Amino acid sequence: LASVGYMLPFSILILFAQERLGLNGTGYGLLLAFSALGGLLGSFLASRLRTRLGYRWTIVSSLLLGALTLGGLALTTNPIVAAVLLALYILHAVVWNICSLSLRQRLVPDDLLGRVGGGARVLGLLGLAAGSALGGILGVIDLAIPVAVGAVVFVVCCLVAAITLPRGLTPDAQTAR
C-alpha cells in the first residue's frame, strides 16, 4: 500500500513541477537535489527516533509525515514550499524504510527471511507499478489529484500501522523466535 502511495505523485512529478510549480529542467533537478537532503537527514534520525519512540510510533509518525507533506504538496504552487515538502517527504520515506526493514528482520525467523523479503519485494514492485499507472490516469484529470490521493493512501497506511504494529517493541526488546 505504501508503494502505491509513493508512486502516485512520483509518476507525474516532472509534469507537476513544470505545470504547477513553473520549473524548467534545471529547476526540477534542483527540486530533486533538495529533496535528497531530507533522505540524508532521515538516515541520520531514524535510529534516534526508533530508540526514543520505538518501532511502532516511529513508523506511524513517519507515515503521518508522508501524508501531511503530500497533502501540502497537492495544495502548493510555490517551488520553495514544494522543495521543503519533498525533502520532508523523502525524510519520511527513509525513516519508514529503515524501521520497517529492521522490524521485519527482527520479527521473521531467520530461515524465512529470504522468502518473506522476496515476497515483500514482489508486493512492493507491484504496488509501484499500480501506483504509477493510477497516478498517470488521475494526472490526466488534474496533476494535483495523484498527489492528494497519495496523501490519503498514507493516512490509511498510518492507521493500519497504528492498529497492527505490536506495542512496546523497542530496539532493545527481545524477540521470541
Residue-wise pLDDT tens digits, 106-155: 888 989 989 998 998 999 999 999 999 999 999 999 999 999 999 999 99
56 inside domain: yes
Query: Would you state the cell numbers that stand for residue 116, as one nine-digit string?
Result: 518473506
pLDDT tens for residues 137-150? Answer: 999 999 999 999 99
d(CA 109, CA 144): 42
Confidence of residue 177 (pLDDT cuts 50, 70, 90): very low
CA dist., res. 37 & res. 93, Å (int): 12
Residue 168 lies in a domain: no
**Tens-place pLDDT, residues 22-74:** 999 999 999 999 999 999 999 999 999 998 988 889 999 999 999 999 999 99
Residue 124 maps to a domain: yes
Q: Is residue 27 part of a domain?
A: yes
Residue 12 structural domain: 2-162
Q: How far apart are CA 166 and CA 177, in angstroms?
A: 15
Q: Is the pLDDT of residue 168 over 70?
A: no
Using the structure block, give the residue that is written with the C-alpha cell 525467523: 109
| 74 contacts 151 by C-beta, under 8 angstroms | yes
User: Domain for residue 167, yes or no?
Assistant: no
What is the value of pTM for the model shown? 0.88
Contacts of 71 (CB under 8 A, 6+ apart): 148, 151
Residue 141 CB contacts under 8 Å (≥ 6 apart), including other chains = none
CB 157 within 8 A of CB 5: yes
Is there a domain that residue 119 lies in? yes
Residue 173 in any domain: the answer is no
